[in-house]
Chains A and B, each alone.
Chain A
């Protein structure tokens, strides 16, 4: 149990897909202009990565290593199509807002990387938790970027006005340029924080 928690936690902070591994950045910027889009995207990715890790892990013994990458891609593409159809049926507005980026989940480096690095070598349950952890880390990063951008750019959160009429929205945060600059500072902040934590651990003599 403790082991599974460890696998799960790794994706959240130490190996956060966006801030630390810097993989799958495209969506982190493209759909984070509002919290709800960021959340939908994050959850979709979490679903795809968890399902794909499970599938890859179950089939790892039957698949010839030579053809593994095409097999992974096919599996990912199938799951993504499933998500696309589900969203189109039950949340058409969100489907429209995410647009092309939803289809592009197929080529997210993080999903293929987890399949290759983790799921193809581990049992089903750890692979499932690895996917869940990476997906959660991704969602967390997406939502935090989305929250800051929506708050500063429109003065609202999840569509509700949070900041009063006195707040003059900084349009740049919603625009692409603001997204880039914000991510730059967030990556730097995350680095400072992890460096600090590593130092604290070292002083305690844990590392």
Chain B
């Protein structure tokens, strides 16, 4: 029975993702894009969770892995005939190499992992505020370099002409893969060691756990997931470097915090709840009719409400909607 007891931990988020995908197939073409976008956000938030949730260390830098993944997948899938027009300054190798949809997603994950390894090797020694600021610095550096270094991408222009292969099912399968990986990791020996170190660093290192090594493992794994999510994202819509910067960092962190930082279920629930609210509000900014009444909000209301909600959740219920707990079948006493 011990094995069955932990099954809901994986099943609950997976079912939520599948339900979202099924709802998306029933929706009209215009609302479908909101659902697909939501599923990509779920993938990003699960990636964030894999590191922040398990280690308890804050990272503002994960969106730079998403950005690098997006750039990798984008550069390698724009049709060769259109590359000179969109990205004239590209490296020769990148100009002549083209891969398909699935390889581009895998390479995006590899790019995210390698970047996270390079960054994590020095940074995982830090914790607390220094870690927060240093990961923020990583985000700033990545954004700055992607904006101006036109040998690896379109610079400040939009990443147009990337094949739009991320439909409902690609997004749903992507989110499921991320969820399964995060689940397998948190149940593994390494995941448990890291969670122990989160609860009590002193006791964990006394028990022989290398906190630095476990954090690095989680960082690289979550960098891979974030890069993968970036690949999904660029196949959804033409991103610019500003799409994968502060706003997305804020939104995904808000999702994680609103759901509950320390559980996989919290990551998925938070991403779905905030996305639903955000999508509804951005639809309402263009005017919607609901329950007989017409609602027409001024542009920008979405961020105001999400910001207020996040502050409110942090004040009233700092452990998030799920309380940071997974769904479990209550045990019968024996």
A and B: bona fide binding partners: no
* Chain B residues proximal to chain A, CB less than 8 Å: none
